[in-house]
Amino acid sequence: MIRKPLVNAIRLALCGLAVQGAYTAPAVAQDQPVLEAGAASTQLEEIVVVGRQRSVATDVLQERIEAEVVADIVSSEQISRVGDSTVSLALRRLPGVTLVGDQYVYIRGLGERYSSTTLNGAYVPSPDLTRNVIPLDLFPAEIVETISIQKGYTPDRPAAFGGGNVDVRTRGIPDGLVFNLQVGSGWNSESSNDGLTYRGGDDDTLGTDDGTRALPAELLGAIGDYQGSISPASIYQALLRDGEFHSFAEAELINRQLATSLYRDLDLQGKSMSPDTSVELSAGNSWYFGSDEQWRFGVLALGDYKNQWRNRQRIVRGVLEPELNTFVAQRTTNQVVLTGSMGVGLEWADEHKLEATAIYLRNTEDEASLSIGNNFNFQAAAGQQLRNYRIRFEERDLEILQVGGSHRLGTQTLGVLDSLALGGLGFLEDLRFDWYYSDATARTDLPTEVQFSAVDSIDPASGALLATSIRPSLSAADYRFTDLEDQAESYGSALTLPVKGESYTLELSGGYDYYQKARSYLQTQFGLGTTINGSALSGTPGAVFTDVNILDPDNGFQLTIGGIGTESYLAAEAITAGWGKVDFLWDDTWRITAGARWEDFERISVPIDQYQFDPAIGKVLVPPGGLESLATAEDDFYPAVALTWIKPDFWAEEFQLRFGWSETVARPDLREISGSTYIDPLTEARVRGNPSLVNADISNFDLRGEWYFGNGNNLTVSLFYKDITNPIESVEASGSDDNVSLTFINADSAEVYGLEFEGLMDLGFLSGNGWSEGFFLSGNLTLSDSEIVIGGSALNLTNNTRRMTQHSEYVANLQLGYDSPGGAHSVSLAYSVYGERIYFAGRDGADDAYEQPFDSLDLIWSFYPTERLSLKLRLQNLLDSNIEIQQQGVSILEQSVGLTAKLDLSWKF
């Protein structure tokens, strides 16, 4: 039986489809579920380069020493120093972290499915079309106070923990008056030439479509009027229902008229690339009031706008006879980022705090591309080549509202209670209660994704273009409209009681978490074209797909519904959790932290066929066993133990040795356990879920030594090992050469192990005359390996035992910094590189495909002529590295990145 919280989540997903106009949600019980997620924060280590000084503050060092688990953190000052613009770019500089597609972090060699992301400790839904995890490029660095990666598991965090948990902490209320205005511009070497564009909407500069590209209401209505099919035959049958005479030609005309409702003013045009522009404004203040000014009220608001154009050249080759199967694409992308946030807070006596934060994020990419090349059927020697025009507009939005509080039974609070004759609670001094509530909605809208397929006639000798025409195919123009909506509501609380003795301290804590998420994913696809190879197909898409050509019956144009009907799906999940933890420190020498988390997990994913109008079947494709056969319900305990040995003056002023062990889980994504099939919008692969997937169980082991020197230098060395049972992998399924098919399997086992080094060193000792004062060196190196055993579900993979997908054997980050005397100048040279990693596994005897190492070298110079004015210059990718994927010695994909220069001017009050 499906339990009530999951039923409510399904109802939310159905409502999401109803809003999209594709489905009418049935009545469901109106009782609202309670929702929550992991709450209590964990002390984490932090290495901070504060402002213009290379220093490690005493309180930060103390925080590192007192941390209960292995973790890393990057501060807003550190992000500012290296010039990273998003959370994902900042995280790539932490030990054991690699960045995939500038969006997803892989921690200690484990893919994004083995990592979780929270915002201020609360769950945040993902606007990604094909993943359950949130793309971290969605968060601009401007709203961030700190970013933490907790690599050691603690019971107050969600049990879905593999490589680590990423917690993005937004800026809190300021200590006083804050006003900051920053303007910037930039340039990319690949964008110095003319790019591509097309006629879009009037609101494109704001990162949203004004309805120009949207799915026409006429088409949406026709799907209902003609019962899921708009073919001339189906339209003709619908016309006959009125009992009057109708000709088949009338039905064909209606079909062609529907085709003219599609937006077709999409001819690619040349565009002079504009420089990057950015504007950021933040303002806030705090006011103290009451007796002894114990009350403090604060507010902080931030707005940010970025607009940039990028050219990218992409070369794609076939692994077999690449000289005959090569495509070169010019891609121009216009990215618009809008951010707005508002935070308010109220504090009393440093013992009670209430905070509320509202955040709106928009990240839109508008891409126009032209791809020209040959395959085995269209050869240059025969005077032919293929030409594909592609337009893709993707808007991602995230709306978040969070409220929370922290309440401590301190001396001031105890005094107030005594005055109210509520004394006698001194034995509970410093008891702390933390709570939060979070409501978030993530949306991704692709109002139009269209591709036009054409064939060129060329001179075999010179390659000169002689003529171009649209291919004679009913899907020569392929239109897709995609809508995704995630709704997540969560809340939780934690109670912490410290107990102090003469030679020991004890902290008892516990809490509960609950969260619920509902997802609706709807994809609609149409094909437009003709099989008559006549003069009407000559020219560009704008010249071919005109109203005159489409409506002319002699040209034979026809509009069809594409896809296979089950690309869309509903999904929901809910977790109820309770946890408890004991943290015991004896004689400032031995520390043990132990606890466990219990989670009750429910999940369901249901395919949707929006073209199904048979009332006996319905749009929600329920199997004979009912919804219960698609649902998962399970519960389990997840223990964790951390042991720390503290030994001062062991090579350094402070030393400690940590050991950690935990049992966690990695669950399949919502889309992966559905039987639905959909098209991945990025890879064009047909992806099918696997309802037979089971959870992957993970055993985690960590050993870490930490040395803290009196001059602020520090060094850490870590060993880690993870043993995974039933790991989840994406693999290539059977398909044709032109139709790549992917699915998901549980492998038999996997293991990941490695060694991490991290440190920071003042280089002032290099000289006796002081020239090296102000220089420092920081960095990290991870050496690791992995092995996965696929087992019986190999699907004819070439290598059933290999490294895990996207795992790198090494990751290195190095930063050389300099702060001038007086702090007027600050310079950083940052280098990062990762080893080659499997991009996808080969099958049928073909080798695995490997993404090649990417060497990134950035230079950041900051100049502070006054206390309020600053100038920052960022030079990125100085080595001009490119993205490259190789298979069997062939570069099957190459993409340019270019060198980027950015200049920001900031004024602070």
pLDDT, tens digit, for every residue of 774-822?
888 888 898 999 999 987 655 688 888 999 888 889 988 888 988 888 8
Contact status, residue 590 vs residue 606, Cβ threshold 8 Å: no
The rounded distance, in Å, linking the Cα atoms of 130 and 98 is 20
Q: Tokens 């006996």 belong to which residue?
A: 616
Question: Nearest to residue 620, comparing CAs of 12, 25, 30?
Answer: 25
SS3 state of residue 76: helix
For residues 106-141, one letter each, b for 16 or more C-beta atoms within 10 angstroms of the residue's C-beta and e for the rest, the string is bbbbbbbbbbbbbbbbbbbbbbbbbbbbbbbbbbbb
pLDDT at 366: 95
User: Around Cβ 480, how many Cβ atoms within 10 Å?
Assistant: 20
Q: How many residues does the chain have?
A: 909
Question: Nearest to residue 196, comparing CAs of 359, 399, 332?
Answer: 332
Q: Give the model's confidence band at 92: pLDDT under 50 very low, under 70 low, under 90 confident, else very high.
A: low
Q: What percent of the chain has pLDDT over 70?
A: 83
The rounded distance, in Å, linking the Cα atoms of 140 and 149 is 17
The rounded distance, in Å, linking the Cα atoms of 571 and 599 is 19
Answer yes or no: is pLDDT of 130 > 70: no
SS3 state of residue 92: coil
Answer yes or no: is pLDDT of 50 > 50: no
- What average pLDDT score do residues 729-738 get? 63
Answer yes or no: is pLDDT of 31 > 50: no
Greater confidence (184 vs 682) lies with 184
pLDDT at 54: 43
Question: Nearest to residue 262, comparing CAs of 232, 225, 235, 230?
Answer: 230
pLDDT (tens digit per residue) in 255-288: 999 999 999 999 999 988 889 999 999 999 999 9
DSSP per-residue string spanning 229-261: --SHHHHHHHHGGGSS---HHHHHHHHHHHHTT
Q: Give the model's confidence band at 20: pLDDT under 50 very low, under 70 low, under 90 confident, else very high.
A: very low
- What average pLDDT score do residues 111-115 get? 74
DSSP per-residue string spanning 169-212: EE----SS-EEEEEEEEEEEGGGSS-EEE----TTGGGTS--SS
Greater confidence (854 vs 615) lies with 854
Question: Nearest to residue 752, comparing CAs of 794, 790, 808?
Answer: 808
Beta bridge partners of 122: 119
Task: At 442, give phi and psi (nearest 5°).
Answer: -115, 135
pLDDT (tens digit per residue) in 210-252: 999 999 999 999 998 898 889 999 999 999 988 889 999 999 9
From 23-27, 638-642, 737-741, the region with the lowest mean pLDDT: 23-27
The rounded distance, in Å, linking the Cα atoms of 203 and 196 is 18
- Single-letter code of the amino acid located at 834: Y
Between the alpha carbon of residue 881 and those of residues 94, 273, 672, 812, 830, the distances in Å are: 20, 22, 34, 16, 15
Beta bridge partners of 838: 850
Greater confidence (376 vs 11) lies with 376
Question: Nearest to residue 131, comparing CAs of 157, 105, 108?
Answer: 105
pLDDT at 318: 87
Greater confidence (767 vs 514) lies with 514
From 37-41, 86-90, 318-322, the region with the lowest mean pLDDT: 37-41
Between the alpha carbon of residue 401 and those of residues 280, 359, 614, the distances in Å are: 21, 7, 41
- Single-letter code of the amino acid located at 434: D
The rounded distance, in Å, linking the Cα atoms of 518 and 15 is 10
Contact status, residue 698 vs residue 724, Cβ threshold 8 Å: yes
- The whole-chain average pLDDT of the chain stands at 84
Q: What's the gap between Cα 706 and its chain centre?
A: 31
Beta bridge partners of 827: 818, 861
pTM: 0.87
Answer yes or no: is pLDDT of 56 > 50: no
User: Around Cβ 422, how many Cβ atoms within 10 Å?
Assistant: 10
From 213-222, 516-525, 740-749, the region with the lowest mean pLDDT: 740-749
Answer yes or no: is pLDDT of 189 > 70: yes
Q: What is the CA radius of gyration of the chain?
A: 29
pLDDT (tens digit per residue) in 855-868: 989 898 989 898 88
Question: Nearest to residue 684, comparing CAs of 369, 246, 337, 437?
Answer: 369
Specify the DSSP element, H or E, that contains 227. Answer: none
For strands 115-119 and 164-170, give the pairing: parallel
Three-state DSSP string of 671-737: HHHCCCEEECCCCCCEEECCCCCCCEEEEEEEEEEEEECCCCCEEEEEEEEEEEECCEEEEEECCCC
Task: At 368, give phi and psi (nearest 5°).
Answer: -125, 130
pLDDT at 622: 65
From 89-98, 319-328, 499-508, the region with the lowest mean pLDDT: 89-98
Contact status, residue 186 vs residue 901, Cβ threshold 8 Å: yes
**Which residues, in sequence order, are CB contacts of 759 under 8 Å at separation 6+?**
713, 714, 715, 716, 778, 779, 780
CA dihedral 252, 255, 261, 267 (to 10 degrees): -70
pLDDT at 94: 67
pLDDT at 891: 92
State the chain's maximal CA–CA distance in angstroms: 102
The rounded distance, in Å, linking the Cα atoms of 462 and 380 is 10
pLDDT (tens digit per residue) in 589-610: 999 999 999 999 998 888 888 8
CA neighbours within 13 Å on the CB side: how many for 547?
A: 4
pLDDT at 606: 83
Q: Tokens 């032209």 belong to which residue?
A: 370
The rounded distance, in Å, linking the Cα atoms of 668 and 421 is 54
SS3 content of the chain, % helix, strand, coil (to 5): 15, 50, 35
DSSP state, residue 845: T
With both helix axes pointing from N to C terminus, report the angle between 232-239 and 248-259 in degrees, rounded to the nearest 10.
120
Q: Give the model's confidence band at 577: pLDDT under 50 very low, under 70 low, under 90 confident, else very high.
A: very high
